[in-house]
Amino acid sequence: MKIFNTPNEEGFFGEFGGMFVPEELKGVLREVDDAFKKYSTDKDFLEELNYYYNQYIGRPTPLYYAEEMTKDLKGAKVYLKREDLCHMGAHKLNNVIGQILIAKRMGKKRVIAETGAGQHGVATACAAARFGMECVIYMGEIDKERQALNVFRMEMMGATVKGVSYGTKTLKEAVDEAFMDFVQNKDNTFYVVGSAVGPHPYPHMVKFFQSVIGREAREQILKAEGKLPDYVIACIGGGSNAIGIFNEFIGDSSVKLIGAEGAGKGIDSGLTAATITIGKEGILHGFNSYVMLDEKGEVAPAYSISAGLDYPGIGPEHAYLAKTGREKAVPITDDEAVNALKYLSKTEGIIPALESSHAIAAAMKLIPTLSKDKLVIINLSGRGDKDVHQLMNIK
Ligand SMILES: Cc1ncc(COP(=O)(O)O)c(C=O)c1O
């Protein structure tokens, strides 16, 4: 597998990343890293992973020519990478299956995870059910409310969903709780991290498992068009779907990489999750990256209408790619995302997740400025069924 930007031994991409955790946790993370290093080049492991990608998740997902959107926007030709068609409705399972297969080989019987939008929790509950593992999901109380349907799904598959009711009551505290559990139960437990964040080796490991998106997309666009895309656009929460599709194109300087961030009510409103755009360098959840900080230098709460995007940090590799100019971040407001969700539903008959709608919105701004010979791939990271209830309450 072609993986760009392998971090150094300490897990750094440039100055970003690392393992800023207590000594006790470092030992556990090194075990995970050793297992990942061993199995990520192991033929049997990769064959098994591929089997589940194909037979369980339903890969490869189509690269769909969005003809109506292309006609309507009168600019570049648009393709959608249909991760919304993955089992459980989003890209999350690509990563979860990979990590659970590692956990299984390490002899772990219990998996834990954090979740924001609920998609990663659902994916973990689903894979835990499939592999007969005990499963505990940590979720902020606010997210539990916003994503009640996903809580119901997780419980249906046998997971215990533990609400976190302090701080912002969202993803940030859910991650804190999961790390605490990991240290306390390290002998029998594997922490399945849901995005390209956290201490080393998680950002790199998550990218490894999500890189299947870009690998397929590259092959599919070359088959369909005989050339590489000019732009690849993806939404960024912690950054896993984006880095998964970007990986394959990082080495091609002609392909521009755009990450759509959750601007919430606007980047100057104080209610935003546009971490690359306005964040500062800092440490969160064991890694150095761009982080939302307040005047006192403490982590500030992030906000986005989309539960999967309101994380006050960003995966370290995205910070590195943004700082070196390889990736550009575009902030998208709640209103623009909701508008894009309605737009794609009406033009293509595809209801995107609120998270993915940020990528659609960024594309809607860009495409009319491009000539018809240009190609744009949008990573449609998930479907919007989980958001319909929330949208019904938006006037
Ligand atoms: C459908 C969907 N897209 C995107 C994201 C954002 O996560 P990431 O940036 O890791 O892809 C989420 C997170 O829950 C999600 O559910």
The residue out of 206, 231, 266 marking a domain boundary is 206
Measured distance CA(256)–CA(250) in Å, rounded: 9
Taking a C-beta distance cutoff of 8 angstroms, is the pair 196, 275 a contact?
A: no
- Ligand 1 within 6 A of CB of 352: no
Q: Where are the beta strands (DSSP E) in 116-194?
A: 134-140, 160-164, 189-191
- Give me the residue label for tokens 């990271």: 381
Q: Is residue 343 part of a domain?
A: yes
The residue out of 142, 172, 206 marking a domain boundary is 206
Tokens of 32: 């995970």
Domain that holds residue 98: 13-53+92-206
Looking at the structure, tell me whether residues 264 and 144 fall in a common domain. no
- 280-284 sheet: strands from edge to edge: 12-13, 16-17, 287-291, 280-284
Substitution candidate for ligand 1 out of 92, 318, 332 with most atoms within 8 A of CB:
92
Active site residue 92: yes
Looking at the structure, tell me whether residues 228 and 192 fall in a common domain. no
- Ligand 1 within 6 A of CB of 210: no
Please name the amino acid found at residue 184. Answer: Q
Looking at the structure, tell me whether residues 79 and 125 fall in a common domain. no
- Ligand 1 within 6 A of CB of 306: no
- The ligand 1 atom nearest the CA atom of 356: 3
Q: Is residue 158 part of a domain?
A: yes
The answer to pTM > 0.85 is: yes
Residues 6+ apart with CB under 8 A from 392: none
Measured distance CA(235)–CA(308) in Å, rounded: 10
Query: What pLDDT does 80 receive?
Result: 99
- Ligand 1 within 6 A of CB of 239: yes
Looking at the structure, tell me whether residues 239 and 369 fall in a common domain. yes
Phi, psi of 352 (to 5 degrees): -85, 160
> What is the domain-level CATH number for residue 375?
3.40.50.1100
Domain total for the chain?
2
Which is catalytic among the residues 77, 92, 144, 386?
92
Q: Is residue 141 part of a domain?
A: yes
Taking a C-beta distance cutoff of 8 angstroms, is the pair 95, 240 a contact?
A: yes
Looking at the structure, tell me whether residues 33 and 112 fall in a common domain. yes
Query: What pLDDT does 393 receive?
Result: 85
- Ligand 1 within 6 A of CB of 356: yes
Residue minimizing CA distance to atom 5 of ligand 1 = 308
Taking a C-beta distance cutoff of 8 angstroms, is the pair 376, 366 a contact?
A: yes
What separation in Å is there between the alpha carbon of 195 and the centre of ligand 1? 8
Query: What pLDDT does 395 receive?
Result: 64
Residues 6+ apart with CB under 8 A from 47: none
The residue out of 184, 206, 228 marking a domain boundary is 206
Instruction: Kindly provide the b/e burial profile for residues 151-172, where b requires at least 16 CB atoms within 10 angstroms of the residue's own CB.
Output: bebbeebebebbbbeeebbbbb
Pairing of the two strands 12-13 and 16-17: antiparallel
Active site residue 281: no
pLDDT tens, the chain, 395 aa long:
788 889 999 999 999 999 999 999 999 999 999 999 999 999 999 999 999 999 999 999 999 999 999 999 999 999 999 999 999 999 999 999 999 999 999 999 999 999 987 889 999 999 999 999 999 999 999 989 888 889 999 999 999 999 999 998 988 899 999 999 999 999 999 999 999 999 999 999 999 999 999 999 999 999 999 999 999 999 999 999 999 999 999 999 999 999 999 999 999 999 999 999 999 999 999 999 999 999 899 999 899 999 889 899 999 999 999 999 999 999 999 999 999 999 999 999 999 999 999 999 999 999 999 999 999 999 999 999 988 888 988 76
